[in-house]
Structure formats: structure tokens, C-alpha cells
Structure 1
Amino acid sequence: MEVESTVIGITSRDPQRLYEWYRDTLGLPVAEDETMGPTALNAGGAILSFGVHSEISGPAKEPARHLNSLFIADIDAEQERLVAAGVRCIRDRGREFWGGVISTFVDPDGNYIQLIQLHPGDATHEAAAAGQKA
């Protein structure tokens, strides 16, 4: 299979609110693709599209089942920015066995968002891996 593009549909009872949160709080840029409609955002090489679904109600019942993972260059700065903005962090940044660092947040609908930095190497990451403050 040759995939030409990737669109991740995120459904919500209030897709406009969720779209605005991903745009304004996470800081994802608006997708310049008119076919995706007015509530689409760029997330690296993928597009996040927000819409409604008749079978959706309340917060995500199993938020760990589907993880929105965003690979970023500076997990320290992004975690600090999101925490300062009041975003709920459920997993402080920590080094994984494969060498990367992951931090997990919750969006307004209860979905999990993982921030991942693949190649950390500064003192902050070393301290986080050891469970200490840098």
C-alpha cells in the first residue's frame, strides 16, 4: 500500500472547542487544505480533522487506547509551556528504555496526547530520567 496522506479524525460532542484547544493551546497550525474543511490542523506530516459522531458522549472512556503522539524537538520547553497554560499532565517527562523522552497530557475531551523527543541529551533529560529536578 502506498499512503499518500494521513488524516486522523478526532470526534467530539464539541469539535469546535476541541479544534480551538489543539490550535490555540497546543499550537498546531491550521491546515491549508480546503478539502478538510475549516477545522483541520497540521501535525507534522498528518492532518488532524475534528468532527462530530452520533455515538460520542462524555469524556474518552479508554483514553490510552488511542494515543496522539507528537514528535517534537524540545520536550522541556513544551512541557513547561503546557503546564503553565493549565494543561493536565498525567506523566511527567521521563526517559524510555529506547532512549527517547515522553510526557503525556490530557485534552479537554480526556484524550491522551504524548509529546515525544527522540534524541534528548542535555542535563534536564538526564535529571528527569533519574527522577530529579534539573
Structure 2
Amino acid sequence: MIKGIHHVGITCRDMDRMIQFYREAFGFELRECFEWHDSEAFDRIINVSGSAARAVMMQAGHCCVELFEYTAPPPETDGPLRPQDRGYTHFCVEVTDIDAEYERLKGIGMQFGKHAPVEIGGSKALYGRDPEGNIIEILQMATREADG
């Protein structure tokens, strides 16, 4: 069962500037900070070998944005995106049973890399692509006692 969109991911060149902007412009507050390098789990989730980045999850009300500042691999372009270019790197859909949704989504044409959903920190996640190649993450959050 699809629960809704969990967050929108945005890749940026200057994380500190973007954090400040989202705080000032929209009232987003830091909820979580993390980084990775040499992580097989993250490489599998995003389907990019040799990835390294720092990231933050920010929240304003029920809306979350996840900012990424990659240090590897290098981007294909360093220029600002234009309206007709792809801008958001992905959006995330939270699900209650990621394994069932993975199979269902594959069955209707969503394309995934060579990996099945990956467990990390009690949650499970995986990136896939819609028919036009846009990235969508599916995420099953770790069960919290309050969730039942």
C-alpha cells in the first residue's frame, strides 16, 4: 500500500548555502544529517558505484526535502539547470511492504538496477526509474513502537 510521498531529493553544489536558504525561505529545520563514502549499501540503493556524499533531511510541517552534496562521482555538468533540464533528483514514496511494492512496480514497468530493496538502519530503500527515466525512491521506514 502506498502511504504517500515521503520527501523530494535535491542535489546541490553548496550544502551549507542550501540549508540556510531552505531555513530562511520556507522555515525548514534540520531533522537528520548523514554522509557516506565507500558504502556498498548506499551504492546499491542509488545504483551508483563509488558514490560519496553528505546529506540532510529537512522538514517544515509535513513536507520534507533531502539535500545531497555529492563528492563522487563527479557530475556531468557543473552549470545551473534550466527550466527544461531535469532538476529534482528524485522523489520518495513511503510504502508499508517494500518487497511487495518492488515486485508490483517492476510488473508495471518501473526499472530498477540489479539490486532488490536494501536494508539500512532498520529501514529498506531502493531507487528505480519511471518510463522516462526519472528517479523514484521507494522506502519502508523502520517500524517504531508508536506505529504498532
TM-score (norm 2): 0.37
More contact order relative to length (CA 8 Å, sep ≥ 6): 2
TM-score (norm 1): 0.40
